[in-house]
Chain A
Amino acid sequence: MKRLLVFLLVLATVSAVFSATKIRFSFWGEPSELPPYQEIVKQFQAENPDIQVEIINYPWSTYFDKIQAMMAAEDAPDVMFLHTIPSWATKGVLEDLTPYIEKTKFPVEAYNQELLSTFMYKGRIYGFPRDNDTTVLFYNKTLFDEAGVPYPDYSWDWQKFLDSARKLTKVDSRGRVTQWGVVLERNKWHLWIHMNGGRIVDDYEAPTKCTLNERAAVEAIEFIADMILSYKVTPSIAELAQLGSAAELFTTGRVAMVLSNAAQISSFLTNKNLKFGVAPLPYKVTRTNTLGGAGFVMYSKSKNKDAAWKFMQFLCGPKGQSIFAKSGDAVPAMRTPETVKAFVSNPPSEQERLIFFTETSFGVKFPNIPGWWEIFDYVTRELDYVWTGQKSAVEVLEYVSSEVTKMISKFGTW
């Protein structure tokens, strides 16, 4: 009898170990971005020994082919990191999280509601943003001091920005630039249009036509083109890839200013001699920023939805958000005293870190339409002809506008 009891006990222990629910969790990112994810999984498993989380990590360049192929085979990870949530939701691959939120009283109200709305489709919530892709102006203090240019602040409009960039640009005897005033990333053109009070489409929630051919948008694109071609304060966007990434140029002190996001700070910190500061973006007609970012969703065909939701509560709740914020790479999408504190207690300084939150409040969402990213890619590509001086801004934007208007009607509405 006693033996039988021991045997049963052993059997029960063994089966408990084997019966641990396994869920798979996928995200993209470089090895340097792994630590917060690993930390979250570690802490979650310590709290929930009955759930095992398997990490699946691919680089950005191959992530979506792999995930889409897994979805086609109906075997995608239970919890995934994705962007452009509505476009996935329409295809029925995402679980509607609204009932889970209600049932477990998940603190969804702590999220930046504008940002959260980009994770909604037909009034239902399909995921939670990891962070906001807030853009700020990073500047190299040493290069500013050398050129005797005052540091950027809230008083900077386009004119001040351009004048300073010109003073910070150095040229050698053959006219080749050896130090750039500023570096612009290829996919940030929308910021300048919004700064100038322009719009990409007529209505961001229900667009009918593209408005890139209107005066404000054209002026903004001309301003960027002038910085590249006339004033030569910024490397040609088409040549940026040869020079290295914008972050690399800034880290190595070859450029005085860069418009980029918090994720780049860790690479800036790899150069111990780099003294950099954080400043708000310059303005023209208005202040603006990016509102948007990637986040976490649940697979609609997951076999362990309860375990997946349990993990998501941790990952997307105050604890997970604080871990991401603590890494300093991500402006937390959930704003609680803990997450804010975790984010600001990172280099360069608390005061400068707070600028990220102020800037986030100026954020403007991208148009909420199917096929938006394809439209964005298309415009980005066509603008190369302006950046390289092959065609004028007016010429390209007239043409692009009529094409995008056609694309909007072709892709239809949600």
Chain B
Amino acid sequence: MTLKGKETAAAWFFLLPGFIGFCIFVFGAVVISLGLSFLEWDMLTQPKFVGLQNYLRLITQDKTFHLVLKNTVIFVLGTVPARLFLGLIFALALVRNIPARAFFRAAIFLPVIIPTVAAAMVFRWIFNADFGLLNEFLYNVGISNLPRWLSQPKWALMAIIILSVWKDVGFSTVLFMAGLQGIPSSLYEAAWLDGANRWKSFVHITLPLLSPTTFFVIVINVISSFQIFDQAYVLTGGGPGNATNTIVYYIYNNAFQWFRMGYASAVAWLLFAIIFIATFIQFRYQKKWVYYE
């Protein structure tokens, strides 16, 4: 065996454990779930082939699915822009030499590594309508008609959006900080010499050169927001009613509460299609605004 051949063999050898694991537990499961989505199966009795019926029922009849889809879209529209703008603002502040910079960096990133369940437990108290920290604050600034956060359908989804933004804004911040640090300072110096003020250099240098990062932040946030589950699971249990029920929660309920494996798989594949289309559109239109050096 030549040296190159040996190296290739070694590479395969080292890749093998991960590769096998991926094939069985990820790729295999994905393929099987596609097959399952055409079946009616409760794990106990013989599976029954139903063709496209699961998909048709989801799209045309299932009111709960339409509601969870709407909730999920509202969640995506609520969290992604907030994470984007707040992430950018925090990043702009934290790349500068502000006092106690290390502290603020840690404070903003810390929520990302806190387990969602623990965070949601704390937020359950913060959102408490009578004695929670948030309403106490709102009361003290003079708001008398306080929202009952987790028990009023119109506020419950908002509460989950707030928790999710708080939880994950640190991740966007870190990405933006990396992007900002990659912009050569010589460009700002040149602009300054040409008489550009701070706002002008932000609009004409920072934003265009940051656009690949912005694009990346949007894409991954859209993907992860569509998969919202654990915050709703712990904070509200999908309630009140179905006010905070989401697509992934619906998959979980169908598969592991009602044991409709085929139907749950169909929902999962529809979610995949939605995320795929959303991401595809973003890649199509990135040419118009993303600037690569």
Interface set of A (CB-CB < 8 Å, partner B)? 64-65, 68-69, 71-72, 91-93, 174, 176-177, 236, 238-239, 241-243, 374, 377, 381-382, 384-385, 387-388, 390
Across the interface, do B240 and A385 meet the contact criterion of CB distance under 8 Å?
yes
Q: Which residues of B contact A390 (CB under 8 A)?
A: 152-153, 240-241
- CA gap between A390 and B44 in the complex, in Å: 40
Interface residue ranges of B93-144 to A (CB < 8 Å): 124-125, 127-131, 139
Q: Which residues of A contact B256 (CB under 8 A)?
A: 64-65
List 15 other contacts, CB 8 Å, given A72-B43, A176-B131. Answer: A64-B257, A68-B44, A91-B42, A93-B44, A238-B240, A239-B128, A239-B150, A242-B150, A381-B239, A381-B242, A382-B241, A387-B240, A388-B153, A388-B240, A390-B240
**6 CB-based A-B contacts, threshold 8 Å:** A176-B130, A242-B124, A381-B242, A384-B239, A390-B152, A390-B153
The smallest C-beta distance from B126 to any residue of chain A, in angstroms, reads: 10
Q: Which residues of B contact A174 (CB under 8 A)?
A: 139
Q: Which residues of A contact B259 (CB under 8 A)?
A: 68
Q: Which residues of A contact B44 (CB under 8 A)?
A: 68, 71-72, 91-93
Across the interface, do A238 and B130 meet the contact criterion of CB distance under 8 Å?
no
Residue of B nearest to A383 (CB): B241
Q: Which residues of A contact B152 (CB under 8 A)?
A: 388, 390
Across the interface, do B130 and A241 meet the contact criterion of CB distance under 8 Å?
no
- CA gap between A174 and B237 in the complex, in Å: 29
Q: Number of A-B pairs whose CB atoms are under 8 Å?
A: 68
Chain A contact surface mostly: helix
- CA gap between A68 and B257 in the complex, in Å: 11
- CA gap between A377 and B258 in the complex, in Å: 11
The smallest C-beta distance from B203 to any residue of chain A, in angstroms, reads: 45
- CA gap between A69 and B125 in the complex, in Å: 36
Q: Which residues of B contact A387 (CB under 8 A)?
A: 151, 240
The smallest C-beta distance from B29 to any residue of chain A, in angstroms, reads: 14
The smallest C-beta distance from B73 to any residue of chain A, in angstroms, reads: 21
Q: Is B148 an interface residue (CB 8 A)?
A: yes
Across the interface, do B239 and A239 meet the contact criterion of CB distance under 8 Å?
no
Residue of B nearest to A62 (CB): B256
The smallest C-beta distance from A126 to any residue of chain B, in angstroms, reads: 14
Residue of A nearest to B152 (CB): A388
The smallest C-beta distance from B185 to any residue of chain A, in angstroms, reads: 50
Q: Which residues of A contact B257 (CB under 8 A)?
A: 64, 377
Across the interface, do A69 and B129 meet the contact criterion of CB distance under 8 Å?
no
Indicate with 1 or 0, residue by residue over B36-79, a CB within 8 angstroms of chain A CB atoms: 00000011110000000000000000000000000000000000
Interface residue ranges of B237-256 to A (CB < 8 Å): 237-243, 256
Q: Which residues of A contact B127 (CB under 8 A)?
A: 242
The smallest C-beta distance from B64 to any residue of chain A, in angstroms, reads: 9
- CA gap between A236 and B42 in the complex, in Å: 35
Which of A65, A68, A238, A374 has most B Cβ within 10 Å?
A238
Q: Which residues of A contact B148 (CB under 8 A)?
A: 236, 239, 388
Q: Which residues of B contact A71 (CB under 8 A)?
A: 43-44
Across the interface, do B130 and A385 meet the contact criterion of CB distance under 8 Å?
no
Residue in A92, A239, A241, A385 whose beta carbon sits within 8 Å of that of B45 in the complex: A92
Across the interface, do B125 and A242 meet the contact criterion of CB distance under 8 Å?
yes
Q: Which residues of A contact B42 (CB under 8 A)?
A: 91
Q: Which residues of B contact A93 (CB under 8 A)?
A: 44
Query: Which 10 pairs from chain A and chain B are nearest by CB?
Result: A384-B240, A238-B151, A238-B240, A91-B44, A384-B241, A72-B43, A176-B130, A239-B151, A65-B256, A236-B151
